Structure 1
Amino acid sequence: MEEEPVKEKRFVQIGSNPEKAVQGDYSLDVHAILKEGWALTQKNKQSILSGLSFIFLMGVIITLVASEYMGGLEEIMQNNQKQVSINLLVTALLWPFIAGVEMMGISHAVGIKTRTGFVFAFLKRSAYTAITALIIASITSLGFYLILPGIYLAVALSLTIPLIVEKQMSPMAAIILSLKATRFGWLKLMQIYSVFMLLLILSLLPGFVGVPAIISMFVFLVALFFLAPFYYNVKGILYREIFGVQMQVIDNKGDQDMFFSA
């Protein structure tokens, strides 16, 4: 009986790549990206919403448990040092799961459907993800003392975490690559994130103009229902256009399927 020949792994690069990114060899069309992101959101929002709901619930539980250990919520509210400790703990524990949501957006951007379980799919990189998230949180917080540096860093480093997961980079390598690559398209990125900030402010506006609380909350939740997956789908498109996505092609009885090579 003859053995089947070993099939070589085949890969396909979708979008840009890191080499092009650091040279600024990519283009961002703000209108086209937002339009594509909204189209993706019409078809792909349930998994992102489910994933974010799980993360929110987990964040509440972590905060309550940690607060009790540190003396209760009232003690935490009166102690800045303990607040910082809670924030760092929540950041470190939640970002490995948030990375899964970011990868959902990237998956949608390359035509792959996702499920809620994606929030657990990349936990093997959780240590690197947590370290990177803590570094980014620390340097952007310092930057916000002078306001403009904080805004610049928040935008420039907004696509760093997927580099840890999809490109399997180290924290410092991912941060450096992000800073080098996004400087060419920083203004376009800022425009896109400003749109989301404006939409978020508009969704909160009823609460500031005297609309009853229950109606204001309803408006905010409905807006968030669309805004959250829209945001992550747009980030997925941005990642594809700036850094690209490497997919592994697998033959499945004549059909070809593509999976992340990470």
Structure 2
Amino acid sequence: MQEHNDEQQPMIIGGNLTEALAGKYHLSLGEVFKQTFTVTKSHWAPLFLGFLAFFGILLILTLVAFNLLPEAWVNQVIPTESNPQVGQNGLLVLSLIGSAVGAPFWGGLVLMGIRHSVDIPTKAADVFDGFSRAGALIVTLLTTSVITQLALLLTGQIHWLISVLAQIYFSVIFAFALPLVIERAITPLNAIYYSVRIVHYKLPLFVILLFVVTGLIIISSFAFFLPLIIVVPLIFNLVGVVYKEVVGVTIKLDKTQSLDDDQTPWSA
């Protein structure tokens, strides 16, 4: 059995970050969806199981928090008969807490989708891989959440339609922030800046992708969310494929992997 011991330089599959920052990238929605469906056929189970683990942990933490927090705080975020409307402050607090707790898990799920885009298999436990960059992921998600929530509060004072447009806009422009942090180890502020810059070159295409994702979730809700078994992996694999096509995925040869091993020798 021949062992491969030579040092391997990392290589990029797909796009190029430097060119993406200059707007020199091509994104075909037809090709993206085709790749996404193909990838999801082979790599849906780990993503769905990883998402279930994340959802279960988040649910447990939420129940614990509601039992430990002062009742006055809890009443701000839970509708009651006397106060059916959740306050804007309550929504902001919920968003920030969710971002801080969920950021490493979102990073892990995104990284799984990125690996799938280059046909690297994963396992459900990989959802915890985001904790290797937990601090940066939390800062990134908190920053984008605060910016989005403040924008929604301001635009909501003008007109509800402007607020809806702002929600769409900010949901799209930060799309590459978490992937850049978890896959390229880019600092949070740089990742946010890079994401905004890259998306602006082809903003309508990314809005269409957002509508597709939203549509899939809405359709799933009409079927008691059962289609989410496939839709959830599809969404994260879609993120991975788009990221690969635009920015590119860094891979390297695992030096401990023998050339004639049946498993893939590449890692990302």
| TM-score scaled by length of structure 1 | 0.85
Q: Does the residue aligned with 2:253 lie in a helix, a strand or coil?
A: strand
Aligned positions of 1:1-262 closer than 5 A: 7-72=6-71, 73-74=74-75, 76-77=77-78, 80=87, 81-82=89-90, 84-145=92-153, 146=155, 147=163, 148-205=165-222, 219-251=223-255, 252-255=257-260, 257-260=265-268
Deviation at 1:224, TM superposition (A): 1.1
Higher mean C-alpha displacement, 180-189 vs 81-90: 81-90
Q: Does the residue aligned with 2:266 lie in a helix, a strand or coil?
A: strand
5+ residue gaps, structure 2: 156-162
RMSD of the TM alignment (CA)? 2.2
- Which whole-Å deviations, capped at 9, do the CAs of 1:154-185 have from their partners, x for residues lacking one? 10111210111111111100000111111112
Is 1:45–1:229's contact at 8 Å kept on the other side of the alignment? yes
Deviation at 1:75, TM superposition (A): 5.9
Deviation at 1:150, TM superposition (A): 3.0
- Give the share of equivalent positions with the same residue, in percent: 26
Deviation at 1:74, TM superposition (A): 4.7
Letter in 2 for 1:175: I
Q: Does the residue aligned with 1:16 lie in a helix, a strand or coil?
A: coil
Deviation at 1:142, TM superposition (A): 2.1
Deviation at 1:107, TM superposition (A): 0.7
- Which whole-Å deviations, capped at 9, do the CAs of 1:185-236 have from their partners, x for residues lacking one? 221111122112123223334xxxxxxxxxxxxx233211111111111110
Is 1:21–1:242's contact at 8 Å kept on the other side of the alignment? yes
Higher mean C-alpha displacement, 64-73 vs 227-236: 64-73
For the structure 1 residues 82 and 142, does the alpha-carbon distance in structure 2 shift closer, same or farther, using more than 3 Å as the test?
closer
Deviation at 1:134, TM superposition (A): 0.5
5+ residue gaps, structure 1: 1-5, 206-218
Deviation at 1:89, TM superposition (A): 2.0
Query: Matches of 2:13 and 2:44 in 1, distance apart?
Result: 22
Is 1:99–1:122's contact at 8 Å kept on the other side of the alignment? yes
Letter in 2 for 1:156: I
Deviation at 1:82, TM superposition (A): 4.9
Aligned residues: 244
For the structure 1 residues 223 and 139, does the alpha-carbon distance in structure 2 shift closer, same or farther, using more than 3 Å as the test?
same
Letter in 2 for 1:100: G
